A and B are shown apart, each in its own frame.
Chain A
Amino acid sequence: MKKFYKFIICITILALFLIPSSAYAWEGECGYEGGISSQTSPGSTTGKITYQYQEVSFITGQPIVYTGTLTISKSTKQGSVVATYVYNLANTANKATLVRTIVYNTVLTQADNGQTTEQTSFSKTPTEVIKIGNTTYSLKSYTFTRANIVDAKPAVNYYSGNTWGKKTYQIGTGTNAGTVEVEGTGNFYGYDQYWGNTEVGVIDYTIQSDNGKDKWGGTANVKVTSTSAKKIDYVKNQPDQISFDGGYLMTQDNSSVLSYDSMLPEFDSKGISTDNVLEKTDSLKLETFPSQTRLPVVSLAYLKGYWAENDIKTLFSLGVFKNTGTKFNPQQFITRGEFAAAMANAAKAVPTDPTLAKKTTTTKKNTQQQVVSPFADVSTDSIYFTGINDAYNRGIFLGSDGGYFRPNDNITVAEAVTTFIRALGLENMAPQPNAVTSFRDNDKIPAYARNAVYVASDIGLVQGDDRGYLNPNNKLTNAQAAVMLNRLIQYAQNGISKDYIENIINY
């Protein structure tokens, strides 16, 4: 019979709303029109947000880049999100303007396995007017559908979706005015997590133009990526006579790239299309100035020159390791409790879109809440309780039989690697039924950890020693844990985005 030690604790939820939300990119910030936005917004994070925005249009038979602003406002109600996108764009060289308003309605459905499917359609008739010199293209009809699936893992939300849209523009205003039809089929992929996010999309357009006198068709391929990543650099102080050596600077970079490849007819000197097809390739980039945060400096002067000095200091600065009052000893074996608490901070929960967050009343109210430890051997008084509880609730740690967490046991390399891959949700990258790793001591890896080790080695989270051994059953020291956790954070910052961006844009 399991015994639970029950505790009643008063907590104030007030504090939760005082945390400033940092700059962060959200899915949908680039819109669904094949453009890129500056992602981040200075100032307000709720209500209307205005971004810098660029997109390329092919309706004239020439790629024309429009720049300007995109204003997004969102509201939620009962499992659906209504989002209004207002575009105000221009191209001065071509004396062109583009004005567009679209209201999307996205219905969210939670599946049994925790995945969320999204279905997007218009909730109002969209409007769009493009003026180029004296010619006006106005949107006559627009059919659009977007489907997305979000798979939430302990520290990363992955998504993958498709869009399809068909626009018909009317050229000019007369009754015999011609039309341009643009059909776009797109795939997009992305992930959201605390240390950064990436969204990539590829849209294939076909353009059919008939202005009554001239008929032509063309194709265009537009690839869009937007990434946001935090990086951490050590900054040394210039003066010597200062109480601390230097510290860590966290920089968040946001950048969006659009590259296109169009195959459109060449036009003769009279402006009539010819049979010769010209291929045009170009790219656009939008970057916002990096936002920077100085991390607190933790005094660990006695580690100066130690192998893992940088990793340990970084983790303390980030609050992944916390000062517990006892001196941090890098050679000491880390306990499961300590590791779980560190993991909860290294593989932080995915932040939620503040524009989608449920409006909560901010009246000051003390709520009495019963906090029960899920494990018989972890007291809610333990300094590691919050971390263990968080890591367990998100599924990074599963705990062992009988409701025991064994917080004071040491953790092995194999166990630690398993939690990494579980946090990233990448177990399925391993071959089935069970991977064979290239470590010389493959057979010593516990069966449950073999897939995780394979994946971790594939994505560069673990490496063998000089002789190719992993030593999976060795206990992990504080220092080794620091190196591994920092590698996990670095992977989350830029390792994962590489696969998304390079795969889609560069190849």
Chain B
Amino acid sequence: MNKNTLYKRRFIGSILAILVALTVAVPYSPVFAETPELSLTGSSNASTVLNNLNYQDVKASNTWAKEAIYESGALDMMKGYGSNTFGLKNTLTKEQAIALAYRLAGREADAQKAAETLDNARAAGDKKINPTSMWSDGYLQLAANEGLISQQDFNDAMAADQTSLDASSFHRGAPAQRQEMAFWIAKTLNLSPQYGQQKIFNNYKDWSKADPIKIPYIEAILQNNIMNGDGSGSFYPTQSITREQAAQIIKNASAVAYPLLKYTKLTGSIEDKANSSVASIGGNTGVSVINIRNSNGKLDQLTVQSAGGKSGINEETGQPVSGNEKEVVVYRNGQIGKSSLLKVGDKVEYIVASDNSVKFINVISANPGVKYITANIDSVDTTNGMISVTELYSSNYSDDSFSGTGPSVDKSVSGKTATFVYSNNVSVESGSGKQTITDVQPDTIAELKVQNGIVTAIRLSANNAINKETGVVNGIVEENNPQLGYITLFNEDGSGTSPEKQNQLILGRTYNYSTQGGLEVQKNQQPASIEDIETGDSVFLRTDEDGNIVSISAADNYITKYGKVISKRPSTLAVKFDDGSQQVLDVPASITVLSNNRLVGYNSLKDGDRVKLLLNEGTNITDLKEITIEGGEHLITNVYKGVVSYINNTSGNLVMQNLQVLNNGKWVKTDQKGFTNIKLSNECAIYLNDVKKDISSINSYARGNEAYIAVMKDYGGTENALMVSFRNTGDTETIYNDSVASAVPGSGSFSLNKQYQNISYGPGSIIIKDNRLVSGSSITDEDMAYVIANKRNYAGDNNYAGVVQIGQRSGSNFINIYRARIQSIDENESFTVESFSQLDGLTWDYQNTPKTFNIKNNTRILDDSGVVAQRDFTGYGDNSYVDKVVYILANDLDAVLISTAPFGNVNVKGDIADISTGSGSTAGSAGTNTGSVLTLRNSKVYDLNTNMWTASPDITVNVLQNSIVLKDNQIVDPSALVKGDSVRVIKKDNTATGDGYIIIVES
């Protein structure tokens, strides 16, 4: 909402206040004492105009354009055919349309001058005799001069024999098209063409059928509401226009055109009518003074004069010529006439010329027939807005003596039941003050004010009314503006989004905050500030006797939506909701982000995360209030490759042959041989050649093909397929372990650093980042990735990514490994070592200084039989740890793990080929074995003398109870080691067997 409207709203608000004050004051103050703002008169040609407007065809019809026809006629803009016929359905010709466009802009005189110049240039025999035709030439000349039509069009129009023109020529008598009309009016009214995005016109289905040159002008016409579509989304640019439509177009253009014509359109209501008569020649002249209360609350006084007496005698007929009439043309309820049609209470729109003469008065709402019915209330249906009553008596006037106690009702006798619709803002009053419709109780007597069949007011007796406080208003916030100090509510029935109703809200549902201070605000039952009240909130307002808000209580109406993060940016979040729709949301700086019932930062949110969003959805804006990240249950756990045998439709299982799992950029055979079932998750997407397919087409066309499968963990420990992507069997697969050199979102490809390869991706590429399935746009520069690329076996084809697996970056809390002798222990607090060695890459760095490590709640201690309680980590007794040499894993100075495993300084490495969980230990074991033995293939031993890795036969490593296992820089349980892991092991010696003291998984 821009500032202008805000200002307007406030402005109207203050007018309203004045109006209210005035309506109260007026009955007690003499009307004549007030000086009118405008003194208006009638026009002398009113009778002539009325005569011309006496269209028989319009009278007989019930055209919607009646008001427009009379208004444009009264203002001399559109004339009839002279035979009291308007020609409602006749089409408007091009020349008429042009003439109309110029008249609308008040350019009639210019046209006549142009016509004269044109005619003067003509040879005597060619001169036009018919003035209409001559003037029409003038309009066409103007049109050609000013670019409404081309010179060629003008030449065509001037051709004497119009029948000789071909179809593509400009026939002045041909029907004008709607787009032409729009173009011409926009030109003559000097509307600025709207270039660029045509916001309104593009919404019409047939906008593309319009002449492109005219589109910016049509948009301007639509923006000014001069022309509209058919209400169902079509504009029909090439259709013709009937004369009744033309009249309506003129009326619609009045806001723009009338200032050019020096007409002012005012609104007001007839407050008073006083008739008197003044003696004049040959009789009396009736004079009426009509007081109009204008919309500014001021008085406009219109004096009309009837044609009494005579002003002279007609020189031809000898008949008396009527006196100086000063009358107005009035349109009321489908009828036209003079000021006598006006009634006190009418709401009118009056068009005033520059000489303060009134050209036309349109009665917008006539004072409707009001009936007062005293009745017994039978039932009130608030859902449908209906009230059912048994009538007792009715009258045209309110019953002053109404007390609410009627004659006892014998419904079966009186019997006259009726059901009325009651108005949305029905006023309910009782002797004790204002009430609401819910206070109208069955079987009480009430007086209903029925206006045009609708109950607009209900009067209850004081006895029957609910005794309650007044001034409490309920609704949903349309706009809250604490700066300007007002709040606007939607109507109680939830309406108020259409332009007409919006205007009503500004008047009827806008409340000002009390400026007296002490405004009490609460939201969701908590004290709040006025800024916390948002669009869409349900609010209760308590107003003081001046109608200003003194207290406000609100509750939000946020809604929950589930979706997946497509792209996270510092201040925006693109989300795909579960219903398939996508939205980009602004992220406020103070956004609350939750995960596992804990407050985490916005930084914790990653592309591909499933989220629950709390939103405040207004009619045209959505505010993000809170983000909850789904618990880790649905992260991608593995990527498989294998031959798809078929999909079992009933059980939803993918039956796979020769399954391999991706581990550190290598395909490793799974334990299970032959066939494996993988269950498809509900949201699983299956791609074949980058196109999403359903199960039945896979079973028909893709059996026996290889596919990549991304799986997530399901409840109960099983894995479910989240995405299946088939590869072309003929393609060559290459695996890159590289970092991304450059990735431009939306380009559909990225390049690698080391290999200088450009890799393209598509919807069928499985892209995993931080263990989440993401789209290609989430790949960023410097990402470390394993890329499984496929290349067609012919030249020129790009590498196409089947799988992109982007690893996690190292966390900030880096763990250091020390080897040291314990000097002293301060229980539960810290321990100090005499001196220490720190593992730096492959060697131990000795530092001859003491160092103190903190003992934390989660500091674990392992000895050769396993876990030791922290309370047993003491410096006294038989099991004293003082003087023991231990490994210390510390995060800064906080000890995370203390292990008594023996010292080793030999590094070996290899890939885990097998993990046996057989009992006992292999040769050379010194400690208590956990029972698991790792077999390393591609083994190498680091030679401390040559500083080189030298090849070794397969190495078997025993995992001890106090062996330290590190994976992704985290201390993990030995069970987290899997086949295919590349590990570095710190051992005692370089033999092919023995215990592993520290096992580090390398990526």
Task: Specify whether A and B are partners.
Answer: yes
B858 touching A276, Cβ below 8 Å: yes
CB distance from A195 to the nearest CB of B (A): 16
A431 touching B536, Cβ below 8 Å: yes
B858 touching A434, Cβ below 8 Å: no
B718 touching A443, Cβ below 8 Å: no
A83 to B745, CA, bound (A): 61
A257 to B872, CA, bound (A): 40
B-chain residues with CB within 8 Å of residue A490 when the two chains form the complex: none
A431 to B857, CA, bound (A): 48
Contact of A236 among B579, B696, B961 (CB under 8 A): B696
B863 touching A442, Cβ below 8 Å: no
A506 to B595, CA, bound (A): 10
B859 touching A442, Cβ below 8 Å: no
Report B382-429 residues with CB < 8 Å from chain A CB: 383-386, 388, 419, 424
B-chain residues with CB within 8 Å of residue A266 when the two chains form the complex: 860, 867
Stretch of A15-23, A125-133, A174-182, A267-275 with 4 or more beta carbons under 8 angstroms from chain B: A267-275
A251 to B630, CA, bound (A): 29
A268-B494 contact, Cβ under 8 Å, with A285-B718, A438-B619: no
A276 touching B492, Cβ below 8 Å: no
A443 touching B716, Cβ below 8 Å: no
A284 to B717, CA, bound (A): 7
A295 within 8 A of partner (CB): no
Contact of B717 among A282, A401, A431 (CB under 8 A): A282
A448 to B717, CA, bound (A): 49
B562 within 8 A of partner (CB): yes
B495 touching A442, Cβ below 8 Å: yes
Contact of A507 among B630, B649, B718 (CB under 8 A): B630
A403 within 8 A of partner (CB): no
B948 within 8 A of partner (CB): no
A368 to B463, CA, bound (A): 51
B-chain residues with CB within 8 Å of residue A443 when the two chains form the complex: 495-498, 500-501
B916 within 8 A of partner (CB): no
A502 within 8 A of partner (CB): yes
A396 to B196, CA, bound (A): 51
CB distance from B494 to the nearest CB of A (A): 3
B-chain residues with CB within 8 Å of residue A447 when the two chains form the complex: 383-385, 424, 493-495
A438 to B718, CA, bound (A): 42
A450 touching B494, Cβ below 8 Å: yes
Most buried by B among A282, A432, A445: A432
A433 touching B474, Cβ below 8 Å: yes
Nearest neighbor of A437 in chain B, beta-carbon distance: B494
A277 to B560, CA, bound (A): 35
B475 within 8 A of partner (CB): yes
A436-B496 contact, Cβ under 8 Å, with A431-B538, A460-B579: yes
B868 within 8 A of partner (CB): yes
A-chain residues with CB within 8 Å of residue B579 when the two chains form the complex: 460
A503 to B594, CA, bound (A): 13
A433 to B541, CA, bound (A): 13
CB distance from A319 to the nearest CB of B (A): 23
B610 within 8 A of partner (CB): yes
B431 within 8 A of partner (CB): no
Contact of B650 among A267, A292, A437 (CB under 8 A): A292
Report A459-497 residues with CB < 8 Å from chain B CB: 460, 467
Report B320-358 residues with CB < 8 Å from chain A CB: none
A450 touching B717, Cβ below 8 Å: no
B569 within 8 A of partner (CB): no
A259-B612 contact, Cβ under 8 Å, with A442-B619, A498-B562, A506-B633: no
B-chain residues with CB within 8 Å of residue A437 when the two chains form the complex: 494
B976 within 8 A of partner (CB): no
A502 touching B494, Cβ below 8 Å: no
B696 touching A401, Cβ below 8 Å: no
B869 within 8 A of partner (CB): yes
CB distance from A299 to the nearest CB of B (A): 23
B-chain residues with CB within 8 Å of residue A259 when the two chains form the complex: 633, 715
A445 to B497, CA, bound (A): 11
A506-B610 contact, Cβ under 8 Å, with A277-B857, A401-B388, A451-B494: yes
A-chain residues with CB within 8 Å of residue B866 when the two chains form the complex: 268-269
Nearest neighbor of B650 in chain A, beta-carbon distance: A290
Q: Interface readout for A281-303 with B: 1 if CB under 8 Å, 0 if not?
A: 01111100110100000000000
Contact of A448 among B384, B610, B868, B872 (CB under 8 A): B384
B-chain residues with CB within 8 Å of residue A267 when the two chains form the complex: 867
Nearest neighbor of A440 in chain B, beta-carbon distance: B497
A99 within 8 A of partner (CB): no
Q: Interface readout for B862-879 with A: 1 if CB under 8 Å, 0 if not?
A: 010111111110000000
CB distance from B649 to the nearest CB of A (A): 8
Nearest neighbor of B412 in chain A, beta-carbon distance: A1
B-chain residues with CB within 8 Å of residue A433 when the two chains form the complex: 474-476, 492, 494, 538
Q: How large is the interface on B (under 10, 10 to 19, 20 to 34, 35 or more residues)?
A: 35 or more
A447 to B382, CA, bound (A): 10
B628 within 8 A of partner (CB): yes
B160 within 8 A of partner (CB): no
Contact of B538 among A283, A432, A460, A503 (CB under 8 A): A432
CB distance from A331 to the nearest CB of B (A): 17
A426 within 8 A of partner (CB): no
Nearest neighbor of B537 in chain A, beta-carbon distance: A431
B37 within 8 A of partner (CB): no
B586 within 8 A of partner (CB): no
Nearest neighbor of B595 in chain A, beta-carbon distance: A507
B-chain residues with CB within 8 Å of residue A376 when the two chains form the complex: none
CB distance from B971 to the nearest CB of A (A): 12
CB distance from A69 to the nearest CB of B (A): 18
A164 to B716, CA, bound (A): 26
Contact of B492 among A282, A290, A434 (CB under 8 A): A434
CB distance from A225 to the nearest CB of B (A): 9
A374 to B325, CA, bound (A): 68
A266 to B620, CA, bound (A): 54
A-chain residues with CB within 8 Å of residue B234 when the two chains form the complex: none
A353 within 8 A of partner (CB): no
B869 touching A431, Cβ below 8 Å: no
B495 touching A467, Cβ below 8 Å: no
Report B152-193 residues with CB < 8 Å from chain A CB: none
A507 touching B631, Cβ below 8 Å: yes
CB distance from B745 to the nearest CB of A (A): 28
B453 within 8 A of partner (CB): no
Report B471-496 residues with CB < 8 Å from chain A CB: 474-476, 478, 490-496
A211 to B562, CA, bound (A): 47
Contact of A431 among B557, B612, B631 (CB under 8 A): B557
B562 touching A257, Cβ below 8 Å: no
A458 within 8 A of partner (CB): yes
Contact of B865 among A269, A283, A499 (CB under 8 A): A269
B419 touching A401, Cβ below 8 Å: yes
Nearest neighbor of A447 in chain B, beta-carbon distance: B493
Nearest neighbor of A499 in chain B, beta-carbon distance: B560
A-chain residues with CB within 8 Å of residue B272 when the two chains form the complex: none
B559 touching A275, Cβ below 8 Å: no
A-chain residues with CB within 8 Å of residue B770 when the two chains form the complex: none
CB distance from B416 to the nearest CB of A (A): 14
A440 to B499, CA, bound (A): 11
B-chain residues with CB within 8 Å of residue A64 when the two chains form the complex: none
A283 touching B857, Cβ below 8 Å: no
CB distance from B825 to the nearest CB of A (A): 15
A-chain residues with CB within 8 Å of residue B559 when the two chains form the complex: 458
Nearest neighbor of B679 in chain A, beta-carbon distance: A287
Nearest neighbor of B474 in chain A, beta-carbon distance: A433
B748 within 8 A of partner (CB): no
A435 within 8 A of partner (CB): yes
B-chain residues with CB within 8 Å of residue A401 when the two chains form the complex: 386, 388, 419
B631 touching A434, Cβ below 8 Å: no
7 other A-B residue contacts (CB within 8 Å) besides A257-B716, A259-B715, A438-B617? A257-B715, A267-B867, A275-B869, A436-B497, A447-B493, A451-B494, A498-B562
> What are 14 A-to-B residue pairs whose CB atoms are below 8 Å?
A233-B649, A266-B860, A268-B872, A275-B869, A277-B858, A282-B717, A283-B717, A433-B474, A434-B492, A445-B495, A447-B424, A448-B384, A454-B494, A502-B562
Instruction: List the 3 shortest-distance A-B pairs measured between CB atoms, nearest first.
Output: A285-B716, A434-B494, A269-B866
